[in-house]
Structure 1
């Protein structure tokens, strides 16, 4: 029992540091700008659900899947960085939705469904770092059911924290105001672009080292 608890604590601390749930709030607000409170609640729930599925899948068969497809973790990191950069550029420069309102509403609805999976679930919650950490911890379990259960429990705890942060962020934004939210969106877009470049640099460095 003590071993399982220590495994849970170790996995939780590792994933908490890598995922950084507290830093998710401004990104969540920027990515869901223009959505209602109900839509944001739905996006937060779906994003956390997707992240849980991704990390749980990585724990049970992620390494085997990557090997079977011939994909390395550095390559995955580069791809994630490039995709994240495209989202960051849209946040900073704005997205041209189209002229008629029907098209605009349709695009906004599609964006609401998509941001739950990308960039919130992946690569922000279940990014290359979190997937790598999960793969390493799962490898150390050597197929032991109790240790794998501790890892899954840690993943669930971190994801629940992410959900709590996202839900509280909406209330905080109401206090801040619309103008500050727009400034925050642009600033977070720049920070995400920097994070994307760092993903690509780290992945390229690992590929060529």
Structure 2
């Protein structure tokens, strides 16, 4: 059954976790020297690969947890703590530094080949935070129809990310260093609140409160 609250919560969580504004300057660093058409192709391939990865976890994540004997409540607590750490990194500007180091290593090793798959799709877009958030959200979309809604949310979020990568150069010039810092911190605070809510829901579920 269509639940607008779940849709809004899922969209907000995924967008903040994927962090399109934070990925834009890193994407520019990864694709330095490329033409606009080449950048668009890398962005498209990376977005499609990341969507496929997250869609698989959205459809099979809960089954994997059941197979491992992990309750959704326990995973919500663990995932919430992980998302809180990501929010902490965003607020104190540590996440972008880590992502930039990842991109620098990839450029050195692969010489710009296959960067759409690594590191753009994995781990920069579909990283541990996005994967954890997807599995957590899947618990709120239990039926097959609701899972399709979650896939739709994923597609919309990845679509927004793709657009942000396509216009990354313009957005980066528009925001500037100060604008990026303010936006990243604001998104970090929102993600921190969402992660705490995941932990609260997990505790309630685990202890049947």
TM-score range, shorter chain: 0.5 to 0.7
Quick check: 1:140 aligned with 2:153?
no
Larger radius of gyration: 1
Q: Secondary structure at the match of 1:140?
A: coil
The superposition leaves residues 30-71 of structure 1 with CA deviations (integer Å, 9 ceiling, x where unpaired) of: 11112222211110000100111011000111344577699x
How many residues were matched structurally? 152
Structure 1 gaps of 5+ residues are 78-83, 98-106, 177-183, 185-209
CA distance in 1 between counterparts of 2:65 and 2:48 reads: 22
Give the TM-score normalised by the residue count of structure 1: 0.60
Q: Secondary structure at the match of 1:35?
A: coil
* Alpha-carbon distance change, 23 to 90 in structure 1, aligned in 2, over 3 angstroms: closer
CA distance in 1 between counterparts of 2:28 and 2:113 reads: 12
RMSD between superposed Cα atoms in Å = 3.5
Correspondence for 1:123: 123
Correspondence for 1:51: 50
**How far has the Cα of 1:91 moved from its partner?**
2.1
**How far has the Cα of 1:162 moved from its partner?**
0.7
Contact in 1 for aligned 2:103/2:119 (Cα 8 Å): no
- Stretches of 4+ aligned residues off by more than 6 angstroms: 66-70, 84-87
* Alpha-carbon distance change, 66 to 124 in structure 1, aligned in 2, over 3 angstroms: farther
CA distance in 1 between counterparts of 2:145 and 2:36 reads: 39
CA distance in 1 between counterparts of 2:39 and 2:99 reads: 22
* Alpha-carbon distance change, 90 to 158 in structure 1, aligned in 2, over 3 angstroms: closer
The superposition leaves residues 161-189 of structure 1 with CA deviations (integer Å, 9 ceiling, x where unpaired) of: 1101110014467x79xxxxxxx9xxxxx
Structure 2 gaps of 5+ residues are 70-74, 83-96, 178-209
CA distance in 2 between counterparts of 1:33 and 1:66 reads: 40
